[in-house]
Every structure is written in structure tokens, then in C-alpha cells.
Structure 1
Amino acid sequence: MTTENSQDGQGQYSYHLPVLFGETLDALAIKPDGVYADLTFGGGGHSRGILERLGPKGRLFAFDQDSDARRNLPEDRRITFLPHNFRHVGRFLRLHEGIPVDGILADLGVSSHQFDEGQRGFSFRFEGEMDMRMDQRQTNTAFDIVNTWSEQRLHKLFEQYGEVTNARTLARTIVHVRSTLSLKTIANFKAALNSVVKGNPNKYFAQVFQALRIEVNDELGALKEMLQQVPGLLSIGGRVAIITFHSLEDRIVKNFFKKGSFEDEDPSDPFGQSTAPPLLKAITKKPVIPGDTELRQNPRSRSAKLRAAERI
């Protein structure tokens, strides 16, 4: 997931331009007759790259909970589109007899397309309702959160997921104003909070909207559920490549690849003797980040980090 200012889609940055494109495909070490799963199909850029490296017997499963993504499907009999959240990856791969897979890819960034669809509510640059649902079938929206959550819960949300500097003041203000003003639209929400904005307004609202979006879509919970399934889905020697845009996501992926759990080191167990040996071996000791050329061509990539691991 990315903050909007790191992906603030000028028109030239296509919905189909994937971040760390070549680096991700190289990390997957694609075999022509292999089976692969792109868990965040989006504009289809990474999937097209995989298909180009697959032979006629290769297979690709493309997951995306956003129904808009289906429009980007190429006409290719090797690809199967699964309109579901990747937290259900194991269930649907089994249903389609796709296990084991030779590679799994997830690009956790929100697409420029989603930001640019004003009515979806992902962007503070457009007018629309405070929605932010990636899967339109779910009911919980950003408006539900700002309209019903307690001051304490809102404080923790903006502090932990948005790293908002005055998260406590922001939460208190929301609770105060919502009794007399409707926060259902982006314009109303921004106007109601104008007095508490700290620093650059674009950066501030990017952090606020990021926090709400992470919660609306349970993005960290879904990431953990997906990762726990990965070792059981990969063939021996199969690879997983994940692109993150947020420090919380990167830490989750890093820890899981390193030791098969999500927690930082336990000081009472410095040698990790209380946990089972991990089934994945990290093949990126440090995260792969975009080079200068990509940074110039696509500002969205600024926060991107790629980590990859191999099933052992």
C-alpha cells in the first residue's frame, strides 16, 4: 500500500505500469512450464510479464478483489482470473487444482486507477464519498469508521497506520465535529479537519487516508493470512516475491521470510529455539528498491521495497 503523495497519479503514470517490474520477474525465476499466482492483478502489468516468460503449458492464476481489474484481462487461455481477496489464495487454488505453484507475486500498492476513480473515495484530490473499499461487496466503509469509532480507537488508528503527528488531536476533532457535521463526503471531511492539519496538507491527508484505507480493507490482516499459506502452496524451490509500500508491511514480510513468524526478535529467546524452523529462505538479504531511472519515470515507486524468498 502506498501513501497517495508517493503515487499521486499524474496522467502519464499508467495504471498498467508495474513497480519494480524486471526485478520482480527475475526474482520469481519463471519456468516456462510453471504454475504462477499473481495475487494483486490490478492493471495486469506483472501478469503480462509472467505470461511472456511462460510457455504454452504454463499457467497463471490472477487474483484481485476489485471488480474493475477484470477489464484488464488479456485474452489468454493460460490465465484464470479469481475475483477474491488474496487472504483466500489457498482455498481457490485448491478449487482450481493449482497447487503446488512455482511462484507467487503480490504488489501491495494501491493502483493509480483506484486513486483516480474519484467516486471510490481513495483520493483526497477528488470529490466523492468516504468509501475506500477495494472489494465493493463488503459493507464497512471509511465513513463508518470516522462516524462511529471512539476517540481512542481513532487515535490509535491514525497513529499506527498513518503515522499522523497529531493523531490524538485529529481523533478528538473528528468525534467533536461529527455530531453536527456530516463526514460522508471527502469535501466535508477535509473541511471539518482543516483547522488541525499539520504541515503540508497533501502529505497530511495522504497519511490520514492511508490509515483509513488500511483499516477498511484489513490490509495487514489479509497480508498475514496470505503469508501463512505461502509455504504450503509453493513447490520445493518455488519462489515468492512481495512488493510493499509501508514500513508495517515490510516488517511483516521481512520477519516471515526470516523466521516464519510476524514478531520481532524475542529477547528471551535470542536463538529462536521456541519456534519451528522456517520453510522459506530469503533470497533478498536487503529489500530491492527502485533505481534512479524508475524513480524519475514513476514517483509511485519511491516507497517500494521488494523482498523475495524460496521454499526449502
Structure 2
Amino acid sequence: MTHALQVLGHEPVMLTQVVAGLCIKTDGTYLDGTFGRGGHARAVLARLGPQGRLLVMDRDPEAIASAQREFAGDARVAVRHGNFADMADWPSALAGLDGVMLDLGVSSPQLDDAGRGFSFQGDGPLDMRMDPTRGLSVAQWLAQAGEMEISDVLWRHGEERMSRRIAKAIVEQRRERPLVTTRELADLVIRAIGRREPHKHPATRTFQALRIHINDELGSLQAGLAAAARCLRPGGRLAVISFHSLEDRIVKNFIRGEVARAPRRGLPLPPVAPAPLLAVGHAIQADAAEVARNPRARSAVLRIACKRAEAA
């Protein structure tokens, strides 16, 4: 582990595998679309020469402020506040990238800060927005969403089998007083469905589902993969770390070129264009030693892809 990472007390998930998968060129241009604490970005930057460039994006204003402070004196680094789904709107990215790195889901700083509302481990406002300057918080959405809509979100994004029971409890609760804190929601879920699974908090799936929904994480991922494929130069590499099956399925299917096509009544399906990316090896998971050091790596899946020359 590098000195910088030791100072921060944080180990990026599958750092060695990501760096190897990106095949970093010293004069290349690379984009980290999920800066977080910057572990992957620093490892890429350490391998770039004077002509190399690192582009940094994150939806979280706090992560962007951190990146701006850290890299203010490095002309090789450019920082942009925004969703990686919009990377193709950044002229520096659209000019051509040799690699794109995405570390999906919620970051450690977001989880550690009870004030962001991502975790039921501490009590805080029921927010969960990756960008607190935009959109509705979870508390605001739950105060106005219909019971069936809430149930559908919990089922689709959390695979929560008790989604209807939880949604009903939320609607009944808000008739008296809306939910406004993470502890209130976690306690409500426990009352609604009990403790079913050993070593797993009953609200885990509910919190995951609401976070994914409020941030449109799956929609952003689909748009971001398409944008990455557009911005990558032929031979450029894409590295994506997913933390649950919903994300990984989208990444796997995109790399395979399995994009859903709606049938048109009375007309044949349009021809399928060749997939712009080619999978590099198989899905990679952290080894036992890394999981022991960093429990967050337990559910991580890394996929590497390369842009085909004919897709340029």
C-alpha cells in the first residue's frame, strides 16, 4: 500500500487489478468518474508522465472540493463536478480517453458521515442524495410517493420480498408523522418485517433500494457506460467495480452488447450493431487477504473491457 493511502486510512477496492486492467500509458488520458476518496485516481496519476492527463468527476460536492484542494498544483489534473453519465458533455473527455474507471455505489466517506443519511448504523437526516444540491431527499420522496410506487422501488432495486409490508407501514406512519431520520426508517422496517436473516440488518435492502432510486443509479450507469464507450479511443480500457447484482448485470450485458430493443408491431427488429467493447478476461473478485483487510471488497466485482478498433 502506498504512503498516501496509508495516511488516508483507506484502501481502494482491487487497486492492483484496476491499475493492471487499465494498461496505463504514461502519456494517456484517463477519467475517474467516481473520485470518492481518490485512491484509484492517485494510483493512475502516479503512473502518468508530464504529458499524461487525469480527469476527475464526482456527483458529491465534498469529493470534488477534496480533489480540487489536493490537485490544485498539478497541471495534469482537471476536476469537474457532475455525474459520470454526462462525461461526454465534457470536451476534455470527448476529445478521447485511454481509460475510464468507475467505482459504483456509495463511497466510504458518504457512509461514514451520519449527516448524509446513507447508513442505518448511526442516526441522521433521511437524505441519501449523492449530490445534496439537487433533487428530492429520501424523506421528501417517501412523504409523497404512493404505496405501490414505494413497494415497487423496494422490490426492483432492493429485491426486498417484504416490499409491500414495508411500503404499507411507511404510508401508515406518515399519516401521523413523516419519517425524517435514518433511525426512524430502520426501526420501522424492523417492526414491519422482524429480524429474518442472521448477521444482516432487516433494513439493508430497503436502504439500498431507496438510495439507488433517489440517485437514479442504474439509469446513470447505463448512460455512463454508453458515454464511456463513446469517449474511449480504440484500444482504450474501461474498468468498472460493482457491489451488487443489479449493477453488475448492467455492466456485463453492456460489454456483451446485449442492449434491450423494444419490438415494433408488424416490423422486424432493427439490425444489431457490433458491441463497441470487448471483455478482457472474466469478472474479478477480491481475494481473501484483501477482504480480510477491507470488508467492503467482499461483494465487489470488477469487469474490464477494451474498445474495439472497428467501433471508433
Query: What TM-score comes out, normalization by structure 1 length?
Result: 0.88
Q: Which amino acid aligns with 2:143?
A: N
More relative contact order in 1 or in 2 (CA 8 Å, sep 6+)? 1
Asked if 1 retains the 8 angstrom alpha-carbon contact of 2:31 and 2:101, the reply is yes
Structure 1 residue 113: Cα displacement: 0.9
- Please name the residue that 1:56 is paired with: 50
Amino acid in the other structure paired with 1:130: L
Shift of 1:174: 1.0
Q: Which amino acid aligns with 2:288?
A: D
Distance 1:182 1:299, change over 3 A: same
Structure 1 position 239, deviation (Å): 0.7
Q: State whether residues 15 and 43 of structure 1, in contact with CA within 8 Å, keep that contact through their aligned partners in structure 2.
A: no
Distance 2:93 2:81 in 1: 16
What displacement does 1:241 show?
0.6
Report the 3-state secondary structure (helix = DSSP H, G, I; strand = E; otherwise coil) of the residue aligned with 2:203: helix
Q: Which runs of 5+ in 1 are unaligned?
A: 1-11, 267-271
Classify 1:51/1:118 alpha carbon distance in 2 versus 1 (closer, same or farther; 3 Å): same
Structure 1 counterpart of 2:114, one-letter code: G
* Contact 1:90/1:233, CA 8 A, preserved across alignment: yes
Aligned residues: 291
Q: 1:295 aligns with which of 283, 291, 296?
A: 291
Identity of aligned residues (%): 37
Q: Which stretch shifts more, 231-240 or 63-72?
A: 63-72
Equivalent in 208, 211, 228 of residue 209 of structure 2: 211
- Unaligned 5+ runs, structure 2: 1-5, 264-268
Match in the other structure for 1:195:
191
Q: Is the 8 A contact 2:54 2:78 kept in 1?
A: yes
CA distance 1:15–1:181, change in 2 (3 Å): farther
Structure 1 partner of 2:250: 252
Counterpart for residue 173 of structure 2 = 177
More displaced stretch, 191-200 vs 289-298: 191-200
Change (3 A) 1:170 1:56: same
Matches within 5 A, 1:12-23: 16-23=10-17
2:213, 2:101 → 1: CA distance? 23
Given that 2:35 and 2:41 are in contact with CA atoms closer than 8 Å, whether structure 1 keeps it comes out as yes
**Separation of aligned partners in 1, 2:7 and 2:287:** 17
* Aligned CA distance change for structure 1 residues 36 and 50 (closer, same or farther; 3 Å): same
- Written as runs of structure 1 = structure 2, the 5 A alignment for 1:114-263 is 114-196=110-192, 197-200=194-197, 202-259=200-257, 261=259
Paired residue type of 1:111? S
Sort the Cα spacing of 1:105 and 1:98 in 2 relative to 1 into closer, same or farther, 3 A: same
Contact 1:283/1:310 (8 A) holds in 2? yes
Tell me if structure 1 keeps the 8 A contact 2:35–2:56. yes
> Could you say which residue in structure 2 is the equivalent of 1:282?
279
For the residue of structure 1 that corresponds to 2:55, the secondary structure is strand
1:200-220 CA-partner distances (Å, limit 9, x unpaired): 485321211111100110000
- Mapped partners of 1:221, 1:54: distance in 2: 32
How far apart are 1:177 and its partner, in Å?
1.5
* Structure 1 residues 7-46: Cα deviation after superposition (integer angstroms, max 9, x where no partner): xxxxx99674210101011100000000000000110000
Which residue of 1 is the match for residue 82 of structure 2? 84
2:175 match: secondary structure: coil
Describe the shift of the 1:13–1:182 C-alpha distance in structure 2 as closer, same or farther (beyond 3 A).
Answer: farther
CA distance in 2, matches of 1:86, 1:45: 17
* Residue 99 to residue 127, structure 1, CA distance change in 2 (3 Å): same
Q: Report the Cα offset of residue 231 of structure 1.
A: 2.0
Structure 2 partner of 1:38: 32
More displaced 10-residue stretch of structure 1: 156-165 or 299-308: 156-165
TM-score (structure 2 length as normaliser): 0.88
